[in-house]
Chain A
């Protein structure tokens, strides 16, 4: 069934369909309507879940960590400074290998205070050991939440489903709400190998020494470094599980595609614009304009930022003349985080092949600055003519 609703409702419906058992959240703009919607589902009895109101985002994730440790399917959502306040527990959830799903409704971080969209919040959590997915429209939001639970529970790694604040969270558009039976067929109930149980007590994630040692059963137990190594290894191998999730989803729901990248007119393109989230859909409009002018340009959205799909990205960009990376975030003191990662992938896979494209970086939409399609078109047009600058270039800056 198709409905017209906003992106927060799409996310809430995804959580409802996934039969999450525990929701703990603290309201923050622009995430608030998502958690309000979930509280309505629980209050009306439509959703059989515990909704636990908490006094902070840190506690919201702490509750989800406890619930997940006890075998519950847990959900939270936040934005901006809420995510930053949660940061200690964000790291903990990944180290504890809990299959949580959290929506990050992307918003600029303070200071100064700002409630509008950019992606500095989730990008700043890049190195926490969470999988990160980015959505371009409401269909991707609801579908990503469903895929995320399956994937998280398969690989025991928590997942952030990121979508642009206001631009998606508060905008209404049509999307298909999957049937509950299909979601149930896709996503079996959560059955962890071990769940906290008073009849079989255990200590979880206590002080773990630098080196390996005997555990209480007399077996050699991992040291801290082994546990962290496995997080990295299993994050990398989760790329194959992502592909498996996409195939499974496509088989059941009849829609899907490349799970890592979403290319538009890239095959014959000489230049490719790259980005995360709804911006890459807006760039399609600029690509259409420039194609009419005879400029061979395409656009590629990156769906998974962590694990970074380096092979898929390098393959898609191999032999292109130029890559133009648009970012709503940056690593202060250098350049956009995405462009650094992308250049690393290109160097690793294409250095010495003669197929290495020139890479340019543009920063835009920071703190919700309007992103005009006309500006995108002009930027792309100029960037295909010559390299604008080595440093990141800010679009629409009035300084």
Chain B
């Protein structure tokens, strides 16, 4: 993966917090020295439960192109059932990474040409003391495990700041457990 310019597309459901997760990673990237970070949600059709996505571009230079990502390096999927509902891998670069929250085993996925990093974030988050269905901080741990992009320390700090008044320790612990338990393939 070219670490000078990285395109990550996040897929979740309205209310799952994909935008907040992308924002945490964006802020961590900026603090890490990426001068260009642009996070652009898909617009206009946000409803609780409906598929939503957001684009995150990370670059060493200021980003002038705010158009949606067409060929992501990484896709992050907060709900494995989205794989059946929409074409979430659309445009993913060959050799690109799918970071997936799923209770299923990695062997049950038959993607060719893509790397996978999976964890049961839904269960991990409950274990970390979060309400059922809160998965947006846990998935950050899996993303970092799959990419070694920013380092866990800065992400943990970002998570605890973002959730300073809403279970900061549980949220950061979800990310830490997910980092440990993420299974990679490819």
Please give the residue numbers on chain A whose beta carbons come within 8 Å of chain B beta carbons, in ascending order: 2, 4, 29-30, 115-116, 166-168, 170-174, 278, 281-282, 284-285, 368, 370-373
Q: Once bound together, how far apart are the Cα atoms of A172 and B55, in whole Å?
A: 10
Q: Once bound together, how far apart are the Cα atoms of A371 and B67, in whole Å?
A: 7
B63: which A residues are within 8 A, CB to CB? 173
A/B interface sample: 5 pairs, CB < 8 A = A4-B39, A115-B44, A171-B39, A172-B38, A173-B63
CB within 8 Å for A173 and B38 given contacts A285-B64, A373-B65, A373-B67 = yes
Q: Once bound together, how far apart are the Cα atoms of A168 and B70, in whole Å?
A: 19
Interface pair B30/A2, CB less than 8 Å apart: yes
A284: which B residues are within 8 A, CB to CB? 64
Query: Among the listed B30, B40, B44, B70, which residue makes an inter-chain contact with A171, where contact means beta carbons less than 8 Å apart?
Result: B40
Interface pair A282/B23, CB less than 8 Å apart: no
Interface pair B66/A116, CB less than 8 Å apart: no
Query: Among the listed A4, A281, A370, which residue makes an inter-chain contact with B37, where contact means beta carbons less than 8 Å apart?
Result: A4
Q: Once bound together, how far apart are the Cα atoms of A281 and B63, in whole Å?
A: 9
CB within 8 Å for A278 and B26 given contacts A4-B37, A116-B44 = no
CB within 8 Å for A170 and B41 given contacts A4-B26, A4-B27 = yes
Interface pair A4/B66, CB less than 8 Å apart: no
Interface pair B23/A368, CB less than 8 Å apart: no
B43 at the interface (CB under 8 A from A): yes
Chain B, 57-73, contact with A by CB distance < 8 Å: what is the 0/1 string? 00000011111101000
Interface pair A282/B38, CB less than 8 Å apart: no
Interface pair A282/B64, CB less than 8 Å apart: yes
Interface pair A281/B66, CB less than 8 Å apart: yes
A29 to chain B, nearest CB (A): 8
Q: Once bound together, how far apart are the Cα atoms of A174 and B31, in whole Å?
A: 10
A167: which B residues are within 8 A, CB to CB? 40, 66
A241 to chain B, nearest CB (A): 29
Q: A167-B40, A173-B39, A282-B65 are in contact. List 6 more A-B contacts (CB 8 A).
A: A4-B23, A116-B44, A166-B44, A170-B40, A171-B41, A173-B63
